[in-house]
């Protein structure tokens, strides 16, 4: 029987901000694809509209069940996600030198996007069963590290350095939240630095070039450094007010690469300036603060840890993408959530926000 308290506990402000960001995203995508209308730009925009409708359906779907059901299927879902990642390496679709997608007929699916949610559910289950927020030493984390290492290596093999590093950042955020001893965290960070050379030598040549260009942008201005140089020109030329909708020269003249995917924020900054960029970032900040509030007010450990994990996923994607297009971080191919073109990323983001809403709606179930 339907419980009216579910409706009473909906976070309507969170839903409103989600709709506003979606609207700004579609407006920005229309502008980003406008110069390529004759070569598929209109199709890209139309597909993203369909993906948003699908995403809102997934968002609503994720609020219809008790999120504790996820705790029961956490480990089977994790095994299934690993199988999908192995299938990507074996029979995955190759695009631009990367093998990240499984073809499902009418569309392609990126299993690494699913893995981002699955790993959060698994860690929420693991730490809630272990006592939640007790002090964890390094020896208590061998199982979480084993859980993390397998998808990390499989995603790195694709290669998808950005998503692999994102999963590590999300996992470490959860480790901080569940109260791992600071000495253990220092050892973990030191270990990550120690294995960095191993990761470096397993990167593709273009990935190494991107990192080297980040350190010395002038070394290859027309090659590996072209993306970031054009992005910084676009962002800087927007000044405070921007050049106006459909009037960004870097976008109109196709100087800005990947302007509808990884560099969508650069299009916004050029056309709407510093003011538009700050408004979008404030909307993201509001979503993050709403997520932290949901985590704080959750009455159970599983919901609280899962909410923090979702917030960390959202936070790190925003930080890495904006830092990347502004030249503050290397270009690693992390999309801006709800903003960059892409079906798998959008569905994952909408599903995760739906889970946040689910936790918010059912907090009364654990009240005294």
- 338 φ/ψ sector (left φ>0, alpha ψ -120 to 50, else beta): left
> What is the predicted pLDDT for the residue at 368?
40
> Between the CA of residue 273 and those of 35, 156, 225, 331, 343, what are the distances in Å?
20, 35, 23, 22, 27
> What is the predicted pLDDT for the residue at 359?
93
- Nearest CA to 11 out of 364, 367, 365, 356 is that of 356
> What is the predicted pLDDT for the residue at 39?
58
Beta carbons of 49 and 118 less than 8 angstroms apart: no
CA distance 351 to 163: 17
Q: How many H-runs (helices) and E-runs (strands) does the chain carry? A: 16, 3
Per-10-residue mean pLDDT of the chain, 368 residues long, equals 72 93 93 72 87 94 91 94 91 74 77 92 90 72 88 86 89 87 74 71 67 59 68 87 85 76 90 94 95 90 94 95 87 87 90 94 65
CA distance 26 to 339: 8
Beta carbons of 100 and 160 less than 8 angstroms apart: yes
> What is the predicted pLDDT for the residue at 49?
93
């Amino acid at each position: 029987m339907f419980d009216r308290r579910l409706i009473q506990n909906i976070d309507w402000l969170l839903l409103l901000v989600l709709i506003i960001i979606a609207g700004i995203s579609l407006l920005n995508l229309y502008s980003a694809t406008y110069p390529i209308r004759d070569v598929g730009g209109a199709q890209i925009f139309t597909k993203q509209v369909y993906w948003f409708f699908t995403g809102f359906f997934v968002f609503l779907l994720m609020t219809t069940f008790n999120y504790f059901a996820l705790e029961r299927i956490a480990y089977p879902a994790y095994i299934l996600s690993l199988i999908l990642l192995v299938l990507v390496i074996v029979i995955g679709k190759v695009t631009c030198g990367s093998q990240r997608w499984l073809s499902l007929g009418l569309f392609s699916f990126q299993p690494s996007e699913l893995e981002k949610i699955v790993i959060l559910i698994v860690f929420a289950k693991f730490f809630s069963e272990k006592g939640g927020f007790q002090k964890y030493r390094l020896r208590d984390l061998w199982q979480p590290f084993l859980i993390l290492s397998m998808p990390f290596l499989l995603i790195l093999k694709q290669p998808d350095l950005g998503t692999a590093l994102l999963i590590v950042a999300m996992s470490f955020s959860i480790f901080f939240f569940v109260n791992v001893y600071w000495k253990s965290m220092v050892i973990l960070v030191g270990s990550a630095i120690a294995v960095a050379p191993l990761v470096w030598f397993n990167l593709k040549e273009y990935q190494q070039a991107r990192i080297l260009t980040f350190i010395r942008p002038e070394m290859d201005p027309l090659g590996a450094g072209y993306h970031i140089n054009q992005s910084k020109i676009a962002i800087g030329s927007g000044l405070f007010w921007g050049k106006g909708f459909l009037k960004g020269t870097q976008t109109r003249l196709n100087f800005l690469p990947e302007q509808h995917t990884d560099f969508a924020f650069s299009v916004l900054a050029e056309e709407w300036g510093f003011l538009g960029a700050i408004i979008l970032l404030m909307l993201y900040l509001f979503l993050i603060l709403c997520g932290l509030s949901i985590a704080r007010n959750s009455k159970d450990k599983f919901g609280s840890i899962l909410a923090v994990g979702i917030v960390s996923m959202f936070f790190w994607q925003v930080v890495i993408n904006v830092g990347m297009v502004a030249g503050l971080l290397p270009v690693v191919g992390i999309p801006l959530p709800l903003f960059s073109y892409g079906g798998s990323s959008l569905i994952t983001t909408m599903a995760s926000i739906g889970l946040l809403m689910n936790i918010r709606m059912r907090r009364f179930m654990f009240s005294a």
